[in-house]
Structure 1
């Protein structure tokens, strides 16, 4: 019998991320993010920064990450 791999359970989060770019302009992004259970806020922030602001040096001004379920 073949070994079965479990699909990790995902939780949907809503995030708001505001950064300041090198030219001084602030930029805010918000959306939902699906994370496997056991993920950390640091992992989520690093993923978002690397995905949304790749190849840019930015200063994080605000970060919110909350479960999207009400």
Structure 2
């Protein structure tokens, strides 16, 4: 789904993609997005109320779609 959405974004003329909220404790999701070329560009402290851990950070992840 992510790879398809990147292709559509490129076809529509977008230069980048951003995910505004990836829960920091979801290491599987963070690793997946990083493997697809996304990087953590920001942290929102205590943005998500985790049912077991309480408030945890949320990450902003970004990827340029333009080849340099």
TM-score range (shorter-chain normalised) is: under 0.3
Higher relative contact order (CA 8 A, sep 6+): 1
Per the normalisation by structure 2, the TM-score is 0.25
| Larger Rg, first or second structure (1 or 2) | 1
* Structure with greater helix percent: 2
